[in-house]
């Protein structure tokens, strides 16, 4: 395979399902490669999301506007699929904005093309598995927001995805945790003092 073919996409799909070469040939034919610059908006709140994406490299954030301020909902780390799930599935205006916070590389397929791909048993199975996983992650984040302190959520990130703490700008991380950047700085200093950071 040359560099213009979605090798990483195939490897990612194969984590979830076994895929025949015939099915793979059909699947990859639909996907188009696109490069994103840091800070580029992929989807603006209020627009209808017409693509399903695979993030091959880079880092994204989802955010909503609340009282004139950006509130980060979550981040997508490569490699992973992403879209505005409600907007894409219902073809209704998106309630969030998706932005690249690093130079990123994505593969995209349109809503209509995805509908055609869903006729393939293998893609249909994969789509159901990845949707279930995303729903699980979303429920986990919502539960954490309701039950965990910002410090505990930061600790969880530090333990599970420490590299993210170096890649996500402080203001975005603070917004995700629901606190001011100064409060996040205090948490980090406290953890450093306790030898945890």
60-110 pLDDT tens trace: 999 999 888 899 998 999 999 999 999 999 999 999 999 999 999 999 999
Assigned domain for 184 exists = yes
Average of per-residue pLDDT across 18-41: 96
Are residues 110 and 166 both part of a single domain?
Answer: no
Alpha carbons 173 and 164: distance in angstroms, whole number: 9
Alpha carbons 135 and 1: distance in angstroms, whole number: 33
CA distances from 54 to 51, 64, 142, 158, 175 (A): 10, 21, 24, 25, 25
Sign of the alpha-carbon dihedral angle for 101, 196, 152, 188: negative
Domain assignment present for residue 1? The answer is: no
Crossing angle (nearest 10°) for helices 181-193 and 170-177: 90
- Are 82 and 154 contained in the same domain? no
Q: How far apart are CA 57 and CA 102, in angstroms?
A: 9
pLDDT at 194: 77
- Provide the pLDDT for residue 142: 84
Predicted local confidence at residue 197, as pLDDT:
53
Number of domains in the chain: 2
pLDDT of 1:
35
Judge whether 103 lies within some domain.
Answer: yes
Q: Are residues 131 and 158 in the same domain?
A: no
Please state, as a whole number, how many other Cβ atoms lie within 10 Å of the Cβ of residue 155: 16
Upper half-sphere CA count for residue 58 (Cβ side, 13 Å): 24
pLDDT given at position 144: 85
Per-residue confidence (pLDDT) for residue 4, from 0 to 100: 60
My answer on whether 63 and 117 are in the same domain is yes
Tell whether 140 is covered by a domain: yes
Please indicate, yes or no, whether residues 54 and 141 belong to a single structural domain of this protein: yes
Same domain, yes or no, for 68 and 114?
Answer: yes
Both 54 and 128 in one domain: the answer is yes
What's the domain range around 189?
149-197
Asked whether residue 61 is assigned to any structural domain, the reply reads yes
Residues 157 and 139 in one domain: no
Residues 27, 114 within the same domain? yes
Domain identity same for 88 and 163: no
- Identify whether residues 106 and 195 lie together within a single domain: no
Is residue 11 domain-shared with residue 108, that is, in the same domain?
A: yes
Assigned domain for 142 exists: yes
Q: Three-state DSSP class for 2?
A: coil
Res. 48: pLDDT tops 70: yes
What number of other Cβ atoms are within 10 A of residue 49's Cβ?
Answer: 24
What is the model's pTM? 0.89
pLDDT in tens, 50-60: 999 999 999 99
* Domain presence at residue 2: no
């Amino acid at each position: 395979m040359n560099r213009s073919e979605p090798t990483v996409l195939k490897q990612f799909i194969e984590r979830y399902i076994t895929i025949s070469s015939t099915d793979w040939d059909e699947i990859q034919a639909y996907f188009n490669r696109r490069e994103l610059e840091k800070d580029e908006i992929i989807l603006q709140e209020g627009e209808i999301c017409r693509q399903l994406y695979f993030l091959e490299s880079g880092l994204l954030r989802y955010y909503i506007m609340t009282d004139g301020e950006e509130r980060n909902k979550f981040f997508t780390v490569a490699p992973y699929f992403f879209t505005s799930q409600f907007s894409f599935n219902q073809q209704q205006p998106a309630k969030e904005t998706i932005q690249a916070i690093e130079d990123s590389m994505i593969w995209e397929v349109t809503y209509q093309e995805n509908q055609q791909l869903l006729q393939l048993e293998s893609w249909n199975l994969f789509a159901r598995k990845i949707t279930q996983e995303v729903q699980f992650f979303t429920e986990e984040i919502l539960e954490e927001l309701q039950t965990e302190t910002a410090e505990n959520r930061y600790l969880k990130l530090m333990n599970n995805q420490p590299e993210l703490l170096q890649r996500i700008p402080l203001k975005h991380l603070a917004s995700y945790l629901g606190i001011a950047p100064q409060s996040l700085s205090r948490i980090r200093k406290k953890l450093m003092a306790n030898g945890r950071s």
